[in-house]
Amino acid sequence: MKSLIKKLIFTVVALVATTSLSSCNYNSLVEKQQDVDQAGAQVENQYQRRADLIPNLVNTVKGYSTHESETLEKVTEARAKATSITINADDLNEETLAKFQQAQGELSQALKSLLSVTEAYPDLKANENFMNLQTQLEGTENRISTERMRYTEAVREYNTSIKKFPTMIYAGWFGFKEKPQFKAESGAEKAPEVKF
């Protein structure tokens, strides 16, 4: 009889311990998943801020440069493509993040082309509206970099959590899956060549 009571007590204690552990781990994973989703939304928010600045920048350049219609068209097309691709936290995976990142990279390249064209127009470079837009764009690029770093850290913490034992067991039970990371743009591993 004592043996049966001991087994029953052991079973109840084991069941309570398992339940409380899974509850704590589940709640922790939910918080980490929310952190990733929030950080991803902030990245997208900053990319949208950049996209919102572009029409004003294009119109300002257009007023000074009638010869650069091809560059202006490329920027406009890249902006349209970049804003058509959004990130949804529920079906975020390597493929959708790669498409989003590629579209944003194309927009970055188009903006670089646009800003390099402005070097040929001293009046444009002195224009207060253009200088303000350029400053806002530079600030936005810095914000994008900061938010991507925060996203990367949130994803690292989340992905590490779902792979640790015993959490990995509960993560599988409750459907927590690994989140994708941003990748460096192609060519980023090479230092730019500077010539004077």
pLDDT in tens, the chain (196 residues): 777 777 777 676 666 555 545 545 788 899 999 999 999 999 999 999 999 988 888 888 877 766 667 778 888 888 888 888 877 777 788 888 888 888 998 988 888 888 887 777 777 777 788 888 888 989 999 999 999 999 999 999 999 999 988 888 878 888 899 999 888 766 544 544 433 2
Measured distance CA(156)–CA(153) in Å, rounded: 5
- 23 falls within a domain: no
Domain, as residue range, for 86: 46-150
Q: What is the structure's pLDDT at 92?
A: 80
- 168 falls within a domain: no
Q: What is the structure's pLDDT at 142?
A: 92
Q: What is the structure's pLDDT at 185?
A: 66
Q: Are the C-beta atoms of 185 and 105 separated by less than 8 Å?
A: yes
- 185 falls within a domain: no
CB environment 116-133: b (16+ within 10 A), e (fewer): ebbeebeebeebeebeeb
- 39 falls within a domain: no
Measured distance CA(108)–CA(113) in Å, rounded: 9
Peptide bond into 166 cis (omega under 30): yes
Q: Are the C-beta atoms of 50 and 137 separated by less than 8 Å?
A: yes
- 73 falls within a domain: yes
Q: Are the C-beta atoms of 42 and 153 separated by less than 8 Å?
A: no
Measured distance CA(139)–CA(141) in Å, rounded: 5
Q: Is the dihedral of CA 180, 151, 87, 71 positive or negative?
A: negative
Output the domain CATH number for residue 77.
Answer: 1.20.1440.20
- 83 falls within a domain: yes
CA dihedral 73, 77, 80, 82 (to 10 degrees): -130
- 157 falls within a domain: no
Overall number of domains in the chain: 1
Identify the DSSP state of 175: T
Q: What is the structure's pLDDT at 145?
A: 92
Give the chain's end-to-end CA distance (angstroms, integer): 91
Q: What is the structure's pLDDT at 193?
A: 47
- 119 falls within a domain: yes
Provide long-range contacts, Cβ within 8 A and 24+ apart, for 144-148.
Answer: 144/43, 144/46, 144/47, 144/50, 147/39, 147/42, 147/43, 147/45, 147/46, 148/43, 148/182
